[in-house]
Amino acid sequence: MHRTLLPSIVLLMLTAGPALAHAHLQASEPSAGAVLVQPPARLRLRFNEIVRLPGTGVELAYPDGRTRRLGPLTRDPGDVFAVLSLLPPGLAPGRYAIRWRALSPNAHRTRGDFGFTVRP
């Protein structure tokens, strides 16, 4: 039994370690691909682990290509895995992109993007 248990434990550690070492986006509000009747007032990003606020950031890309760094980011008081940011008021109709970067507690960096649309 010892001969099969030890290799299994080593294999589990090798495969689980890298997956736990990076912050991956699990959910967002607005959600990826959302089509909204009203412009959202805030952005909420939920990760699979707690992220470091210094080193984590969000950029908003407007329909015309302009970009704006959002912030400051704050922790969601109801969920330690989520961060919040206000969005600029009165977003005009069009497709917006959110570009995020996250810093894990062990200093691994991840990034990604998604979009949402505000209808006229």
pLDDT tens per residue across span 48-80: 999 999 999 999 999 999 999 999 999 999 999
Instruction: Provide the whole-model pTM.
Output: 0.82
pLDDT tens-digit profile of 90-102? Answer: 999 999 999 999 9
In CATH terms, 2-118 corresponds, of 3.40.50.2300, 2.60.120.10, 2.60.40.1220, 1.20.1340.10, to 2.60.40.1220
β strands within the chain, DSSP E = 25-29, 35-36, 42-47, 57-61, 67-70, 74-76, 79-86, 94-103, 109-118
